[in-house]
């Protein structure tokens, strides 16, 4: 499993929106500038997030996008499942995959199912709110 730039940028964009949510609707142009991401690329990500009800958009003066709820409401797992083709470690565990003919005798299947479960559970522990509160580089000095 390799998370694409689409998934990573979606998370960065949502954390940025959450940090600026008191400002109301946030224009994509501002997020693109702060995050150094192409505005056109963000537009393609926003479509998926609006369609799924994670973001709400407003056109015109004062328009932009905002989270459709508190940042604690949206898990990293949910966002990545929307933006990535798959988070499954092997093809036979992907959603909608045809049953493998060797599944009944597969010695590795339980291991892959366990890894799939660990990935799911791990990503569900984190929310957009958690991404807002990560330490900045250099803030981890320990004596």
CATH assignment of the domain containing 81: 1.10.10.10
137 belongs to a structural domain: no
The more confident residue out of 101 and 116 is 116
- Contacts of residue 66, Cβ cutoff 8 Å, sequence gap at least 6: 17, 21, 24, 25, 26, 55, 56, 58
Backbone angles phi, psi at 24, to 5 degrees: 85, -140
With respect to residue 142, please indicate whether it lies within any of the assigned structural domains.
no
Domain span including residue 126: 5-132
Please give the pLDDT value at position 137: 57
* Count of domains forming the chain: 1
* Partners of 57 in the β-ladder: 65
Residue 63: band (very low, low, confident or very high) from pLDDT cuts 50, 70, 90? confident
| pLDDT over threshold 80, residue 73 | yes
Give the chain's largest Cα–Cα span: 61
What's this model's pTM, rounded to 2 decimal places? 0.85
Asked if the structure places residue 117 within a domain, the reply is yes
Is residue 56 assigned to a domain? yes
Domain assignment present for residue 46? The answer is yes
Q: Beta strand pairing status for 55-58 and 64-67?
A: antiparallel
- How large is the average pLDDT for residues 46-70? 93
């Amino acid at each position: 499993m390799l998370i694409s730039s689409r998934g990573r940028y979606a998370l960065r964009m949502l954390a940025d929106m959450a940090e600026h949510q008191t400002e109301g609707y946030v224009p994509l142009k501002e997020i693109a500038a702060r995050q150094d991401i192409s505005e056109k690329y963000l537009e393609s990500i926003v479509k998926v997030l609006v369609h799924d009800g994670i973001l709400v958009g407003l056109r015109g003066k004062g328009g932009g996008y905002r989270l459709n709820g508190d940042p604690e409401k949206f898990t990293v797992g949910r966002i990545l499942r929307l933006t990535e083709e798959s988070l499954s470690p092997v093809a036979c565990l992907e959603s909608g995959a045809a049953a493998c003919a060797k599944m009944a005798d597969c010695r590795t299947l339980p291991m892959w199912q366990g890894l799939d479960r660990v990935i799911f559970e791990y990503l569900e522990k984190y929310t957009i709110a958690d991404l807002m509160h990560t330490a900045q580089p250099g803030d981890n000095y320990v004596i």
